Structure 1
Amino acid sequence: MESAKKLATESNPSAREIENAPEDGLEKSDPTFVAATKGQVTTGYEDLGALETIKTFKICTLVCFAMAFSAATDGYQIGINASIIANTGFVARFATSVGKNGKPALESPILSGWSSIMSCGQIIGMTTLPFLSSRYGRKIAMYTYWVILVGSVIAECLARSWPGWLVAKLLAGIGVGCLQSTVPTYISEVAPTRIRGGLLMCYSFWWTLGSFFAQVALQHLSKDDPTNYITPIYTQWAQIGLMILIYVFVPESPAWCVNAGKHDQAKKHLLKLNRGVPNYDLERQFQVLVMAVEHEREVAAEQRREKWYAIFQGTNGLRTVISCWTNLTQQLIGLSLFGTFGTYFFQQAGLADPFKIKVITNSIQIATVIVIILVADHTGLAANGATGWGYIGEVSSQRLRPYTAGFAAAVTCVAGVVMNVLVPYMTNSNKWNWNLKTGWFYAGLGLPFVVGMWLLIPETTGRSAAELDELFERKIKPWRFHKTETATQRVVQLNKSEAN
């Protein structure tokens, strides 16, 4: 209570009289004091629009956008895994049987094994790296999964039999899984609140772009050199090189530093991220982080939910379910079918140029994601796959974010393992041969989850981490988040009225 009172009086001149106010008087009604007791302090930038925020926080915005580039490696890996199995040279190299047409063929168990082992690897990465990330920092986590991804690309370059490709896909899955749980967490912690949603969705932009270039490479080779499958694998070295350059230069997450008690480092990294911001008050912005972290710790201690497995308990349990829901729903409405096995599906359906069709669908996806990025922080919730990674990054509490993000992403991959086993059988003309009827399977399976999204997914646009904590602690219904005023909003209104 004393720290809340002190910060309330220091952060807003209009609240200085709180210091000597009676316990049952002004303190209970003054918006600034109430906000401070909830771990909320105004930053002074709450009234900036999205474009103004980008101009004000240029370095911070650039860092988040650059970090999202890592998703291009994720998308390229998934894209290659999805489409290279339709490459003539790849099939000739790794085929273990002859199809009905008398040509070399990849057996469904092997196809399922490759895709499933990658999903299993993702689960391993997503559920283990958060413990390293929480203890040693986000940058150590970045370097760790970068080394794993290097190993995966080396294995892909050297693989000459299906077990060798299996090992490569396991390493790729672990690296991608680590990446998927770390990058949204970092962006959520670093991004300015007003544009956090758009920056989180940049992950989907780069992912889609990476997947797109995988399809372009394979489509080009299918015309000019149909037996060449190794060149697209080699091109991953360029992405790997750019990733390490980014990781070397980006600052550590100040929020993690505060959580780890490294206050001097937090201030140093805040200055790096906010270099050039007009009238930047380091102490005030540092206290914004400190207050939010202290409030979360006090609530956790009061509820005796201080361990990592608190992500399954009480309000944090609900936040975990919400984090899981968006990406899990994607799996249940056909992500594996059109993402992992899109080119193979189109080929098995008898279409003449499956690579070209995949390039077209990816182009549409890129355009859609760009629109979503531009409007997300203005219009709010968007019913698009790009929002999935946004919720994984921002719905959880600061204290539990890496664990929640890792678990939510892993749940999606568990569903992915199941789908990666089923889809090759459903689409393979030598097996179940469901052909286009596969779409009806996903329509029936996904409908309840799509309906659930409208009831379970809250609007988080423009809310700080501390504001989201308040809304969840107050047990506000998810569909009422956007209509509910927070303590920070009341302070902003108070400051406006006093200025007028």
Structure 2
Amino acid sequence: MEIKEEAKTTDEAAPVVSMKKGNLLEIDTTRDFTNAEHELPFWTAVQQYPQAVFWALFFSIAVIMAGFDAQLVTSFYALPAFQNRFGTLYDGSYIISAPWQTGLGMGNPIGQILGALACGWPLEKFGRKMTLGICCVWSICFVFIQFFSTSIGMLCAGEILGGLAYGFYVVIGPVYASEVCPLALRGVLTACTNLAFVIGQFIAQGCSAGLESRLDQWAYKAPFAIQWLWPALLLAGLPFAVESPYWLVRKNRKEEARKALERLSSSKHRPDIDAALVLIEQTDLLEQELEATTTYFDCFKGSNLKRTEISVMVYLIQVIGGNPLIGYANFFFEQAGLSTSESFNMGVGNTALGFTGTCLSWPLMSYFGRRTIYNSGMAFMTLVLFIIGFLDLGRSHKGVVWGQASLMDIWTFVYQMTVGPICFVIISEISATRLRGRTVAIATAVQALASIVFTVAMPYMLGSDQANWRGKAGFLFGAISLVCLIWCWFRIPESKGRTFEELDILFEKKVPSRDFKTYDLIHEHESA
């Protein structure tokens, strides 16, 4: 990158960067700060950027809502009070019919598709803070529909309309975290998106287990009411939140971006704010030069096509790589002879394993790269799925069911320690900063579309009155997971320790994915 620093009229003047079109792919002006970013230890980064850590975690509260709602509704199908209120009489008891189960189950992913694709424009127009605030108001309004529903159709409408906001939340959370924190913190804070999902699922499972024995309307209304808590907390804190400095620079509000960087950092351990601002400006100028516009179409042009492919695939693998089968762990617990309440409690334990696995992913990211963790997790999970399938061939023994259920717990633990959280790290790092919101939105929409497909398909795969595959579904998901593992080996690059500017250059130079880790950009220009 041929970059010149203009003469400064005063010592305090910020560096002004100019770029010559056509020779963009070398690091010059940002070399020193890039080196400093590479060498910054994790705990030193926490001391330098305490507010960045706080606000990234604060924005993740929004993702808790998405995880909570998706887990909550499906758990209501076996809730007696919910069945009596919204079910139909069948053979002497009330049940939620299969079509309505499908409709309610698809409310969240359909809303996510529409919301994710719609969020690109407001994120760029209004910024991260205001967009999240609008979504919180939206959620509060449509939780009212869920809470006061008088029919299952009304509840389904509330789920779909409320789900529009969830599509925004799962985009805003990782995008914001990646843009406010330094390189050393980026992996852990973007991985917190997955932890937020797990926390939401854990709370929903806990609510279902705790209220399972109630027969009045509060068995299902109380969990709906809890959904008012999250947007209320966010709306109370958003006026004090720090806007993304990357977005402020793109809006030519550089002085506000400087103030944002100062607020995100510690006054006692403050980094070089001028250098940090130059790196953000440099990254934006480079991306402007490589791609002047920021539309959805641009996500599929030039080097951005590969970046979009990677983002879509790592998110899609969360669905097609075995998660739908693991979602039926309670079914296997009941098959093993547990009562309904015991199965609910085992479901809570399964989610707790996921929570522990996500927390363990943080130290792993400090020692191993994203590519290494993701591929290792995929290999182990693929093996477990095939074992679940083979065990089903000897299904006559009751211990086999317990073995399958235990393997599902192990799969969940490994998934939440590797593929689950690393997915959000990859999509937040791989996408170009100017297209990040739209790229994550596309990945979210594709993932939600796949969720709809499996929401429809899984009852027919596992239902005893349908295909009755039971654990043999492990063969299907194991085969899909194996194909995905091969793709991962050739296509997932290593982004650990790379600034956004470096990643822009590596993709533009068409460096092979397996060479991202070893390619030396810092000294390349010096040796040329």
Q: Aligned in 2, Cα 1:98/1:107: closer, same or farther, shift over 3 Å?
A: same
Alpha-carbon distance in 2 for matches of 1:345, 1:226: 28
Letter in 2 for 1:318: K
1:485 and 2:520 aligned: yes
Q: Percent identity?
A: 26
Q: Give TM-score scaled by structure 2 length.
A: 0.82
Aligned residue for 1:497? none
Which range is displaced more, 349-358 or 132-141? Answer: 349-358
1:132-182 alpha-carbon deviations (Å, 9 max, x no partner): 111221112101221222123211101132101111210232111111111
Name the SS of the counterpart of 1:314 in structure 2.
coil
1:325 to 313, 327, 333: 313
1:490 & 1:175 partners in 2: Cα distance? 45
1:379, distance to aligned residue in structure 2 (A): 1.6
The answer as to 2:157 corresponding to 1:158 is: no
| C-alpha spacing 1:46/1:446, structure 2 compared with 1 (3 Å) | closer
Deviation at 1:399, TM superposition (A): 0.9
Structure with more relative contact order (C-alpha pairs < 8 Å, separation 6 or more):
1
Letter of the structure 2 residue corresponding to residue 327 of structure 1: Y
User: 1:354-409 CA distances to partner (integer Å, 9 max, x unpaired)?
Assistant: 21121111111111000002321332222321111222222110111111010011
| CA distance in 1: counterparts of 2:159 and 2:322, whole angstroms | 21
What SS is found at the alignment partner of 2:260? Answer: helix
Shift of 1:46: 3.3
Give 2:246's aligned residue. 255
Q: 1:77 to 1:86 in 2, by over 3 A?
A: same
- 1:396 and 2:386 matched: no
**Residue 430 of structure 1: CA displacement?**
4.7
Instruction: Tell me: CA distance 1:9–1:331, structure 2 relative to 1, closer, same or farther (3 Å).
Output: farther
Q: CA deviation at 1:345?
A: 6.7
Cα distance change of structure 1 residues 289 and 440 upon mapping to structure 2, 3 Å threshold: same
In structure 2, the CA distance between the partners of 1:143 and 1:40, relative to structure 1 (3 Å rule), is: farther
Q: d(CA) in 2 for partners of 1:154 and 1:134?
A: 29
1:456 equivalent in alignment to 2:456: no
Q: Answer yes or no: is 1:73 the counterpart of 2:65.
A: yes
In the alignment, structure 2 segments of 5+ residues that lack a partner are 10-14, 375-417
Going from structure 1 to structure 2, the CA distance change for 1:7 and 1:205 (only over 3 Å counts) comes to farther
User: What amino acid is aligned across from residue 6 of structure 1 in structure 2?
Assistant: E
For residues 157 and 387 of structure 1, what CA distance do their matches in structure 2 show? 35
Which whole-Å CA distance do the structure 2 matches of 1:157 and 1:180 have between them? Answer: 23
Question: 2: CA distance between counterparts of 1:379 and 1:9?
Answer: 42
Q: Deviations over 1:59-89 (max 9, x none)?
A: 1112112222222212111220231222121
8 Å CA contact 1:87, 1:226 repeated in 2:
no
Equivalence map 1:98-113=2 (5 Å): 98=90, 102-113=92-103
Q: Which residue of 2 aligns with 1:376?
A: 365
Which residue number in structure 2 is paired with residue 51 of structure 1?
Answer: 43
The one-letter code of the counterpart of 1:450 is: L
Aligned to 1:274: 265
1:367–1:334: structure 2 CA closer, same or farther, 3 Å change rule?
A: same
SS at match of 2:27: helix
Contact preservation (8 Å) 1:82, 1:343: no
Q: Is the CA contact (8 Å cut-off) linking 2:314 and 2:423 kept in structure 1? A: yes
Deviations, residues 270-300 of structure 1 (Å, cap 9, x unaligned): 2211242535333222111111101111122
Partners of 1:247 and 1:432 in 2: CA distance: 49
Give the 5 Å matches for 1:101-140: 102-140=92-130
Q: Deviation string for 1:407-431 (max 9, x for gaps)? A: 0111111111111111233334454
TM superposition shift of 1:475? 0.9
Is 1:363 the equivalent of 2:352? yes
> How many residue pairs are counted as aligned between the two chains?
468
Residue matched to 2:458: 423
- Confirm or deny that 1:297 pairs with 2:288: yes
Does the CA-based 8 Å contact 1:198-1:376 persist in structure 2? yes
Aligned to 1:313: 301
- Alpha-carbon contact 1:116-1:417 (below 8 Å) kept: yes
Q: Hey, what does 1:5 align to over in structure 2?
A: 4
DSSP 3-state at the match of 1:280: coil
Is 2:354 aligned against 1:354?
A: no
Look up the match of 1:498: none
Distance 2:265 2:190 in 1: 18
1:194 to 1:388, Cα distance in 2 relative to 1, 3 A: same
Instruction: Specify the alignment match of 2:413 in structure 1.
Output: none
- C-alpha distance in 2 between matches for 1:38 and 1:56: 19
Please state if 1:60 is matched with 2:43.
no
Decide whether the 8 Å contact of 1:39 with 1:294 is kept in 2: no
Tell me the distance in 2 between the aligned counterparts of 1:98 and 1:445. Answer: 37
Q: Please name the residue that 1:233 is paired with.
A: 224
More displaced stretch, 251-260 vs 46-55: 46-55
Give me the whole-angstrom Cα distance separating, in 2, the residues matched to 1:418 and 1:96: 25
Distance apart, 1:50 and its partner CA: 1.1
Conserved in 2, the CA contact under 8 Å of 1:39 and 1:466? no
**Counterparts in 2 of 1:272 and 1:448: CA distance versus 1, 3 Å:** same
Corresponding letter in the other structure for 2:362: I
